[in-house]
Each structure stands twice: as C-alpha cells, then as structure tokens.
Chains A and B, each alone.
Chain A
Amino acid sequence: MSEQLLAAVSQYGAPALFGIVAIAAIGMPLPITLLLIVAGAMTAQGALSLWWALGAASAGSIFGDQVGYAVGRWGGPVLVARLSSLLGKRASLDAMENRVREWGGPSIFLSRWLLSPLGPWINLASGTAVYPWQRFFLWDMLGEMTGAALYILLGRIFSDRVMSLYGVVGDLTWAVVGLAATLILGYQLLVGLRRLKPDAPGVQPKMKS
C-alpha cells in the first residue's frame, strides 16, 4: 500500500500529497514521514515546488486533524466510538483525554510531528475533552507546519539518500522518545526516593521500644 502512495506522490505531486496526509491525519496509519521526505527530494529535483509541497502537506494534515477534532466534539458517541474503534481501544481515548487536559497545547504540538502515531488520538480526545477549538487550531497549525517543514527540508537536503535518511529519522525519533521518557521517569524516581527518606515530611519515624 505504501508503495502505491509513494508512486502517487511521485507521479501526481501536491494534490496526491494533500489527500494522503489528510487521510492519515484522520486516523489511517500511513508512512507520512517517508512521504514528506520523498516530497522534499522531489522539490530538489524540480519535480515539485517547495512552497506547493509545504502548503499541500500542512493544509492536508490540518484539514484531517480538524475532522478528527470535529468528530470528537460534535460527532456524538456513536461516531466517536466508530472512529476510536478504527484507532484502537476505548481505554486509549480516555488516557489521551487525560493527557490533553494535563498537557494541553504541548501535547497537541508534539503529536503533530514527533509522536505522530498519537496524533489522531489527540485530535479525537481534544474534541471529546472540549478543548477550545481556537487553541487546538493554533497548536495544530504550528505543529503540522513544523513537521512538514522539518521532513520536507530534510528530504530536500538529502534528496539522493531518501531511504537511508528515513532509517535515520525513524531511529532518531525513538531515541528522542526514549530520552523524554528517561527525563520524566528520572524526575519521578527522584521525587519518589526523596519521599521515602526517613526524615522526609509526611513520613513517620519508627518509635524505639
């Protein structure tokens, strides 16, 4: 399937890119990072205008994200259940709702380009959590434009090394996710260990008999 999509972008350019990223933003798991890198390589070859590529990728993904948000907010429980069953389990949607309430904008921004598999979930959860639409749109636009610019420009710079670059980007994304998890868990561990110290506030020292 991804091969046909790549061939479509290679042959039809910006309109194909717009359509595919919009469908992926709604929730279909598609290799968007590779598509953006390929689009970037095509801009270096003169087969696609850089501005058209950036515009189509950003507009397509923002459009798809708005659909996800609208389903979450105004679609009603039946439509939400239908879309979330396409994405996974209901429990995940509840977890994402909590994440949106806790982190707000940054969770929307990061799930556009760094943690992109979470993107469709965050869209739906932002809608069900009644996150303000203007704020959602702003963070979404910033995130999608960052992602499109990052991957398209990388593809443009390394236009003769598309497949190798895709491998590097994939590993690098996981390394960044690992680093973020290390920092968060390290902080939680530190706070927890301080709480366990005998002289810490709230911990009763044992009485000698």
Chain B
Amino acid sequence: MGKLWRRELLIGLAFLAAVALTFVFGYRAGRQAHRLRMEREPIRAWMSIPFIAHTHHVPVSELFAAIGVHPREPHDRRSVRHLAHDLNRPVPEVIDQLQRAIDAAAHKPGGPGQ
C-alpha cells in the first residue's frame, strides 16, 4: 500500500510539473505571437539581401546600394557573411549599414514605417 501511495505521489508531482510546463510555454508562445507583428526582425549574417529586403519591405536595390555592391544577375542570394567576406569588411559593419538603410527607408514618406 505504501509503495502504491509513493508511486501516486510521484505521478502527482510529475503531473503538476507538466501543468506548469504547459502554462509557462503556452503563455510565452501567446505573448510572442501577440508581438509577432510589432517587433522588428533582426538582421542575421546568414540572410541574403533579397531576404532582408522582403522582411523589412524595402527595395532590394536600395540595400545593395547601401553596402556598395552591384548585385549579380539574375538573383544575387549571397549571404551577408559572404558579401562581407567579398567586400573584405567585418560582418557587424555590413549589418549596421543595412540597418541604417532600412531605418532611412522607414522614415521616407510612404516607406514601410509610415
């Protein structure tokens, strides 16, 4: 009988832990989903310029121009890291330039931030 009670106690504790897990992650998912449309997407080194342009609703040509690169035809899908390597510049510097171009585009009349 004592063994059975101990087993039930353990299952009860595991049950409470599972309930807590569900609530914590459910709450976090809900909060993140709510902020999905409001938060600014970070620029990552693996992203290509067309990918970043699509994410931030900025013309691709503006971003290529901002970092001083002539895109390869027909689609230049080199990553930021690859471009930084080709330009012989550090990745954070290229990301900074792209971010500034995005911010500038957002402040233009009719830009993505308007």
Contact = CB atoms under 8 A, between A and B. Distances in A.
A78 interface: no
B37 to A, nearest CB: 7
A158 B36 contact: yes
Interface stretch (B5-13, B63-71, B95-103): B5-13
B11 A4 contact: no
Nearest to B43: A163
Contacts of A107: none
A41 interface: yes
Contacts of B19: 178, 182
A45 interface: yes
A195 interface: yes
A177 interface: yes
Interface string A143-175: 000000000000000111111110110011011
B8 A189 contact: yes
Contacts of B51: 10, 41-42, 45, 47
B21 interface: yes
B87 to A, nearest CB: 16
Contact of B21 (A7, A10, A41, A174): A174
Interface residues of B, number: 45
B8 A165 contact: no
Interface of A: 3-4, 6-7, 10-11, 41-42, 44-45, 47, 158-165, 167-168, 171-172, 174-175, 177-179, 181-182, 185-186, 188-189, 192-193, 195-196
Given A174-B25, A175-B29, A178-B25, 19 more contacts: A3-B81, A4-B46, A10-B47, A10-B79, A41-B55, A45-B50, A47-B75, A158-B36, A160-B41, A163-B41, A168-B32, A175-B22, A175-B25, A178-B21, A178-B24, A181-B18, A185-B11, A185-B15, A193-B8
29 contacts: A3-B44, A7-B81, A10-B77, A41-B51, A41-B55, A44-B54, A45-B50, A47-B51, A160-B41, A160-B56, A161-B55, A164-B35, A164-B39, A165-B36, A171-B26, A171-B28, A172-B25, A172-B29, A178-B20, A178-B24, A179-B26, A181-B18, A182-B15, A182-B19, A185-B15, A189-B8, A189-B12, A192-B4, A192-B7
